């Protein structure tokens, strides 16, 4: 233990004040960095690749979120996927309801407004109470890998949604390929072999979620606990790739202060966050950060002078390990495991089962 000379009261007070100011500055400096992924994908040297990998891991340790720029997915591909998503949600409710989500083991199909209630809780009774009081105000379409013999995707008829299936399957594959690249960067940043995760994610057990947030009166969102999507820790798997429109609404919680800060849309970037299973895998070295979707700025309607939030679209690609993978503490992530090993598939299905009605 260090032995310090006694300080006069004034000196001690000044030192304490400087320390408090420094801590306050550190806590208020929470931000989501923009990382140019081309520097990893197109690196001309191993040191350049390692530098970007270290930046990604550092950001995931500090905030759990990054904006990924120059990610390799053409902007026209993203725009076309948004167009097809919008066309899907404009279909009649009767048509969409025929494709209804049925089972957490499949996690496929259409989810109407109010059926899901995302939350930090894992208690079924508490979630049911929250859903009854303040359901999430959004509708979604869930799509998985298309070659499962047991769990089938719920596709609309081609005449109802031309090229919808082809567009979503192509986008699913593109997102998987990006996920694999980012996981290689994470492996390097954790001082593992870059291919460490390759055979643990290659079965593509992911979930492509199309989201539509319809316009809603601001007064409805002022109900206690109500949000377009409730506050919850990062999602269930390894990573989430989030494609936003320009409306905004995503907020990320500063883990030091508890305050939520906007993840303002940045054109041609993808918001990437650490999922719960990757946080467990890394022994919480990589941060699972609470986030939510709230109402963006409202506008007055001409008919009744009510404040109404604009419609919002987003597309989330929830990346998962192979469902047979055992998730336990990674090498280089601590000597004592915070969590017991868990089967990836059982964990994800269990979380989904209590989230939906």
Strand order in the sheet with 250-253: 229-232, 291-293, 250-253, 260-262
Higher pLDDT, 116 or 106: 106
Altogether, the residues listed in the chain come to a count of 357
CA angle 181, 82, 179 (to 5 degrees): 10
**Whether the predicted pLDDT of 12 surpasses 50:** no
Q: How far is CA 118 from the centre of its chain?
A: 12
Under DSSP, is residue 122 helix (H, G, I), strand (E, B) or coil? coil
**Whether the predicted pLDDT of 347 surpasses 50:** yes
**Whether the predicted pLDDT of 153 surpasses 90:** yes
CA–CA gap between residue 312 and residue 327 (Å, rounded): 35
Q: Are 321 and 237 in contact (CB under 8 A)?
A: yes
CA–CA gap between residue 272 and residue 182 (Å, rounded): 10
Q: Are 319 and 212 in contact (CB under 8 A)?
A: no
| pLDDT band at residue 354 using 50, 70 and 90 as cut-offs | confident
Which tokens sit at 253?
């919680």
Q: Are 273 and 253 in contact (CB under 8 A)?
A: no
Residue with tokens 């939520």: 260
CA distances from 130 to 75, 121, 230, 263 (A): 38, 10, 10, 25
| pLDDT, tens digit (0-9, with 9 covering 90-100), for 72-83 | 999 999 999 999
Q: Which fold has domain 52-355?
A: Jelly Rolls (2.60.120)
Range with the poorest average pLDDT among 93-107, 139-153, 305-319: 305-319
Instruction: Give the DSSP letter of residue 195.
Output: T
| pLDDT band at residue 294 using 50, 70 and 90 as cut-offs | confident
Residue with tokens 């120059």: 70
Q: Are 315 and 243 in contact (CB under 8 A)?
A: yes
| pLDDT band at residue 106 using 50, 70 and 90 as cut-offs | confident
Q: Over the chain, what is the mean pLDDT?
A: 84
- How confident is the model at residue 18, as a pLDDT? 41
Residue with tokens 């059926």: 115
CA angle 309, 289, 175 (to 5 degrees): 75
Residues 6 or more apart from 325 whose CB is under 8 A from it? 200, 343, 344
Instruction: Give the DSSP letter of residue 98.
Output: T
**Whether the predicted pLDDT of 330 surpasses 80:** yes
**Whether the predicted pLDDT of 23 surpasses 50:** no
Q: Are 199 and 324 in contact (CB under 8 A)?
A: no
Range with the poorest average pLDDT among 17-26, 100-109, 175-184, 189-198: 17-26
Which tokens sit at 237?
């798997």
Half-sphere exposure of 281 (CA within 13 A, CB side): 24
Hey, where are the domains in the chain? 52-355
Under DSSP, is residue 333 helix (H, G, I), strand (E, B) or coil? coil
CA–CA gap between residue 35 and residue 270 (Å, rounded): 10
CA–CA gap between residue 46 and residue 224 (Å, rounded): 51
Number of H helices, E strands in the chain: 10, 17
CA–CA gap between residue 52 and residue 57 (Å, rounded): 9
- Other C-beta atoms closer than 10 Å to the C-beta of 64 total 25
Residues 6 or more apart from 186 whose CB is under 8 A from it? 53, 56, 57, 60, 197, 278, 286
Higher pLDDT, 17 or 349: 349
């Amino acid at each position: 233990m260090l032995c310090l000379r006694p300080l006069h009261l004034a000196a001690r007070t000044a030192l304490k004040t400087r320390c408090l100011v420094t801590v306050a500055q550190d806590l208020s400096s929470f931000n989501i960095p923009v990382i140019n992924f081309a520097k990893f994908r197109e690196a001309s040297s191993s040191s350049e690749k390692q530098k970007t990998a270290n930046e990604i891991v550092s950001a995931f340790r500090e905030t759990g979120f990054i904006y990924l720029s120059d990610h390799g997915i053409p902007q026209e591909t993203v725009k076309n996927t948004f167009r097809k998503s919008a066309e899907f949600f404009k279909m009649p409710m009767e048509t969409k309801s025929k494709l209804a989500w049925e089972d957490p083991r499949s996690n496929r199909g259409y989810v109407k407004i109010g059926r899901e209630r995302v939350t930090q809780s894992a208690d079924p009774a508490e979630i049911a109470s929250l859903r009854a009081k303040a359901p999430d105000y959004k509708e979604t379409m869930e799509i998985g890998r298309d070659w499962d013999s047991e769990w089938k995707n719920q596709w609309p008829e081609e005449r109802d949604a031309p090229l919808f299936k082809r567009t979503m399957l192509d986008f699913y594959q593109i997102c998987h390929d990006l996920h694999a690249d980012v996981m290689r960067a994470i492996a390097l940043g954790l001082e593992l072999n870059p291919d460490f995760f390759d055979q643990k994610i290659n079965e593509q057990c992911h979930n492509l979620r199309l989201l539509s947030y319809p316009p809603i009166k601001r007064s409805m969102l002022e109900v206690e606990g109500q949000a377009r999507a409730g506050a919850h820790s990062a999602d269930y798997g390894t990573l989430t790739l989030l494609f936003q429109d320009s409306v905004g609404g995503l907020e990320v919680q500063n883990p030091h202060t508890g305050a939520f800060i906007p993840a303002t849309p940045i054109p041609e970037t993808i918001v990437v966050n650490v999922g719960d299973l990757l946080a467990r895998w890394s022994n919480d070295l990589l941060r699972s950060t609470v986030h939510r979707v709230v109402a963006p700025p409202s506008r007055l309607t001409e008919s009744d002078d009510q404040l109404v939030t604009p419609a919002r679209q987003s597309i989330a690609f929830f990346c998962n390990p192979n469902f047979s993978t055992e998730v336990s503490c990674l090498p280089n992530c601590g000597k004592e495991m915070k969590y017991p090993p868990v089967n990836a598939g059982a964990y994800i299905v269990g979380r989904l089962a209590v989230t939906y009605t």
